[in-house]
Amino acid sequence: MQRMVRTLVLLGLCTALAIAQSSVPLTFTVHDSKVDAKNVSTKTIVFVATNLGADDFYFLPGGRPPGAGCWAGSSGRLLIPGEAPPPRITKIEVRLIQFSDGATWGDSSLFQTGFVSIIKGRVVSREFYQGAISAYDLRGDREFVSFLRQARDTPADPDPDASFPEARSLAIKYLRIQQTSGPATAISEIRSHLYAALGRSL
């Protein structure tokens, strides 16, 4: 059975009324329970939040430039055999979009409320990348690996808003990369993420 592809009416939470798709910096194509989004603005997008989820491109080299695809969320996932498929998506609410120059579309106050963890995560990630690069440049592979292990082994903070898990997850990721592909590959990727964020507003 051929999948149904449809274009939906978009609702921006920054307004009380339904808005035309052309006024939103994204266009959407819906494949049953999955959404594909495209940047139709003239700026690079570094953050997208809809009623279906959010994704942060802050450290992605190049961000999501005009014309590029942008994740917009999906209710689809791998199904357990016999499990009912997810419901079709009937509405997309664009909550917040952030551009690489710091400008936003939507409700920017969400960065101080519902998406405050995004900003905290960026700060912790940036500090991690800077620390890793400093360790590598000053003392080489051994100090770099030591830095990663220390970040991995940092005890969990009891504060539910603490950002240690983000640093630990990055450390685990780059320890794996340096073990399989070498420290040079790991530090190269770290540099690319940090340099991508240079000049971008938190």
What mean pLDDT do residues 87-91 have? 72
- How sure is the predictor about 161, in pLDDT bands with cuts at 50, 70 and 90? low
Q: Is residue 91 one of the residues assigned to a domain?
A: yes
Predicted model pTM: 0.77
Are residues 70 and 159 located together in one domain of the fold? no
Residues 80 and 92 in one domain: yes
128 and 141 housed in the same domain: yes
| One domain for residues 124 and 91 | no
- Residue 13 and residue 57 in one domain: yes
Grade residue 19 by pLDDT with cuts at 50, 70 and 90: very low
CA 82/CA 120 separation, integer angstroms: 40
Give the residue from 77, 112, 147 where a domain finishes.
112
Of 1 and 162, the structure prediction assigns the larger pLDDT to: 162
In a domain, 58, yes or no: yes
pLDDT, mean over the chain? 79
Q: Which of 11-25, 80-94, 121-135 has the lowest mean pLDDT?
A: 11-25
162: in domain: yes
> Same domain for 103 and 19?
yes
Of the chain, the percentage scoring pLDDT greater than 90 comes to 45
The reported pLDDT for the residue numbered 9 is 39
- Our count of domains for the chain comes to 2
Domain holding 106, by residue range, is: 5-112
Whether residue 202 is contained in a domain is answered as: no
Residues 96-128: pLDDT tens digits?
A: 999 999 999 998 888 888 787 888 889 999 999
DSSP string, 102-167: S-EEE-GGGGGTTTHHHHHHHHHHHHHHHHHHHHHHHH-HHHHHHHHHHHHTPPPPSSTT--HHHH
Looking at the fold, whether 16 and 77 belong to one and the same domain comes out as yes
Other CB atoms within 10 A of residue 140 CB: 11
Q: Is 170 helix (H, G, I), strand (E, B) or coil?
A: helix
Same domain, 37 and 98: yes
25 in the same domain as 98: yes
Same domain, 20 and 42: yes
